[in-house]
Amino acid sequence: MEDEKETNSSTVNAAAKQHNRVVYSSQAIHHVAQQIASLYWSLVSQDARSRDAFARGIEKTTDLSRQMIITKLPVDLESPEASEEEHLHSYRQLRERLASLDSQRQQRQRRLDQLQHLQRLIEPFEDPQKDVQPNLITKDGELVQELDKMRMLVARVGGRIAQQKRSSGVPENRSYSLPGSDRRLEELLDMPL
């Protein structure tokens, strides 16, 4: 019995090892690792190039409305032409203003998204005569018709109850219903049709 277990166990282990060798070969693992390293270093070099580009100055075609570019702008201008204190101070002020304007733009964009979401939520209520319970708005709607049917039914049921009381000889002051229910029934029967 134990020999069978060992044989089955060794067979399963051998199959698992073979599967791992085929699926997770060292070459495939090495290849994936190289791709990850290559992508990482290309990203790092792009970031370094963009910083170097800003060190030489900002190009006219740079999109200063993008937050990623604004955050990559250098804090101090490192240009030999901009060595004067005036230019450095002006650059810092402009950079701070650009950052604050970007922050305001982001806040307004979030507010716009919120308002557009609310607008989409209230779209079904824009035409209440057509969309929002048209049976309550129109005089001859379905609800008015159903209420008329209900009044007629109440009147018929009330008439039958009164007829049954008279035929069974139950005195008017004696009732099998809950206290106050006769008064409610009379109020229902007195409702205009």
The string of pLDDT tens digits covering residues 116-173 is 999 999 888 887 777 766 656 567 777 778 888 999 999 888 888 888 888 876 555 5
Residues 6+ apart with CB under 8 A from 160: none
pLDDT tens digit sequence for 18-75: 887 777 777 777 888 889 988 888 877 776 666 555 555 666 677 777 777 777 776 6
CA–CA distance, 126 with 123 (Å, rounded to integer): 5
CA–CA distance, 56 with 77 (Å, rounded to integer): 9
Q: How many CA atoms lie within 13 A of 71 on its CB side?
A: 5
Which pLDDT belongs to residue 84?
Answer: 67
Question: pTM for this structure?
Answer: 0.38
- Would you list the domain boundaries of the chain? 29-125, 134-170+179-189
> For the chain, what is the radius of gyration of the CA atoms?
42
Which pLDDT belongs to residue 113?
Answer: 96
Number of Cβ within 10 Å of residue 31's Cβ equals 11
